[in-house]
Chains A and B, each alone.
Chain A
Amino acid sequence: MIGELGQLSLCFALALALVMAVSGLMGAQAAGSIARKVATSSAMGLLVFVALAFGVLTYAFVVSDFSVLLVADHSHTLKPLVYKISGVWGNHEGSMLLWVLVLSLYAAMVAGLQRGGARLTSAALGVQGLLAAAFLLFILLTSNPFLRLDPAPFEGGGLNPLLQDPGLAMHPPMLYAGYVGLSAAFSYAAAALLVGEAGWTRAARPFMLIAWIALTCGIALGSWWAYYVLGWGGFWGWDPVENASLMPWLIATALLHSALATEKSGAFSTWTLLLAIAGFSLSLIGTFLVRSGVLTSVHTFASDPTRGFFIMVLIALAIGGALALFAWRAPSLQGGAAFAPVSRESALLLNNVFLVASCACVFVGTLYPLVLDALDGTKISVGPPYYALTFAPIFFALLLLVPFGPRLGWKRGDLKAAWRSLYPALGVAAVAALVVLAIVSPRGLAATGAFAVAGWLIGASLIDVRKRQGARASAFAAALAHAGLGITLMGVAGTTAWRSEALTVLAPGQTMTVGPYTLRFDGVTREKGPNYVADRAHIALMNDDRAQTMLLPEHRFYPAEGQDMNDTAIRTTGLRDLYLALGDDRGGGRYALRAYVSPLAPLIWLGGLVMALGGFLSLWGRLRVKEPEAQPAAPAVALAAE
């Protein structure tokens, strides 16, 4: 019965989404005040029904209702509760339902906050309703999560063990909050084109920020997961699925910067619209890449061509429609701000050029092999060396320029003064480079350069924080986010340049050394987990012949799924990780063991966290400012635009 309730909720949700689309677009007319009310309430209703459907599916997973096909295929009674719940989105159908849930959540936020004019908000709700309807249709027609199975089996098929992990349980909701959050920016941009309202960036900014924060956290989480699960200590593999999340992040970052200029002085108004469209388009393309089976990896649960085709049509309609709207309406929105070549505006534009080029690099690297294979059957693979030669220099150049931006005034900046105020940061960079050259071995040009740039970024941010005490939250936010880049850069450079590793086969009682550590292998025991059996290695971290700490990497076997998985043991000092992964059984109690020492590895994710914190601070500053206080700024914007 409960499954049918979910099905019914989805049908109601589809109806409400259609009502919301129509009434929202009607409400975009000046006279549509009733339609506007309908759009607002149907946005709330949409959230209620999608949440109900999602709740029903979650309930079916929690109680292991195997009469629901999806639950029977992807769950198991012995799974811990957390993974029963995360199993809801650990499959194609459920993850699409999560996608629509997040979309509805943003629609409800747009309706609830009513930022921007009534007509703008209404049109944005209309566009959001169209998106929701399209995805609900996709779910109901090709990916129904509530299909029944008769007779119901006694036991389910289980969940891919790779997905049974706290990091990956949280990864998809976080990433979707980002992907789909860009839909709000997209809807506002389309609404601005429809209504002809230039002030949309102000209304949409909180949503852009939420999306950006969620994407930042989602990417960091995914990278951290890859680090501790895949067993070789890598944190980013330029895997197409990782790339699919990086592209929207790069464009969202560009959008945040460009929208700032549009809001402040009316500059780049059409460009900002285009970025908002591009950001969500890349989210859609990312979904297509991951879900359609074009790429095969852990993340691809579905390899069903009809689904791929449906998503492709959906993407073509969304992107094509938005671009057509843009081509039709954008020329009438031309703001045409005036600013000097040396100004904050120019700096933000330059930032966008580099970010878009970085994104193009990831885009081409991800899609070129697919296109080439389709065109002439040539199979090539694009791996890290490609990105090291293309993405790295472009992004590096961007990082070099970052500290100048916040130091240049709007309209007209003083480059000399900016340069002078950056002398201390230059000092920090030089010191960082010298320290690397003097203390650490092996010396490397790349590591030295990376640390110099990290010092440059962090130094500049520190000056910002010191100089602008009492200044607005946004200045601190930018300083934090930019410092986060420097911190991540240190982590990446440190791990890449100075990682040491040891690969050894050990018998019980034997020791190995890796970096500064000595490890003693004390044998393997057989352990029983809730839904797996594990070979657990007992490895003592030695300190002068005494076992200081025990590290317990495991090799797990999940009988329900018939799959193996590694559980690494990581001991971190906060600045350096000792990382252990258990390898094969070599007979006679001997096991292969991989050990890595990754200096500064934790900084990679710490930097991500600091960036997200910067985003939060900016969001907090935005939402704290009450609209009446913000009003005086609006005429200034309008004047500047003229």
Chain B
Amino acid sequence: MTEDYEHREESKSTYAPIILAAGIAVLLFGFVIFLPLAVVGGIIIGAAVFMLFKDGANEKFAEFKESVEEKWPLEFLSKEKLGIWLFLVSEILIFGGLIVAYVYVRLSSNSWPVATQTHDVILGMSNTIILLTSSLAMVFALYSIRGGNIKGLRIGLIGTFSLGAAFLVIKLGIEWPQYYRNGFTISSGLPGSTYFLLTGLHAAHVGAGLVAVGYLLFRSFHGGFTNTKHSAVENIGLYWHFVDIVWMFLFPLFYLI
């Protein structure tokens, strides 16, 4: 049996996918039966993500070279970027489904509190500005590395990371506790449920974005990017802007109307 696949390229095998999948499964299993198990799952996921970080930084899988190919009509997109765009399509559909559910629930409810009664518009507004600025910092990072300016890339990424973290601190550290003190909680009825679920999912996306930006920072300090080789910055940037745009929908839907 073994001689059948001795031509297999050794570099193509990795434990990261099975570990990551097992980690997610243990996490979900833990949610259902035993919460500490979920922590174990989280640790396993962390280990797998670290493996992926290392492989990415070492460019272990990067030698997969595209050969002569038919690309019409998307000759201008790299496969990574096309993958990211398709991923964003799936994200749009998840958030779209949830926003439609929110609108549906709100329209079919007999009464719904006025937004300003339950929500702190000042905090929401400042978070909006912070997130928009973080997107600007991301663009700054991308344009810097396009010009070969590694220092500018690092400054831009650090800016993105700090502003993203500030968004989470304001949201999870200040805004949510304030709502909970006011009795506006996830289980206090549909207004609270929709708000905490949708913005919670969005916050999770910001968190995942922070991990990804952290990866870019990690790689930028290991000489991973040059003015010609920086597609990861652009692709993760796309994701970051998407998360920003989702907030542009959530903010008016929950805070203003």
B is a partner of A: no
Q: Which residues of B approach A to under 8 Å, CB–CB?
A: none
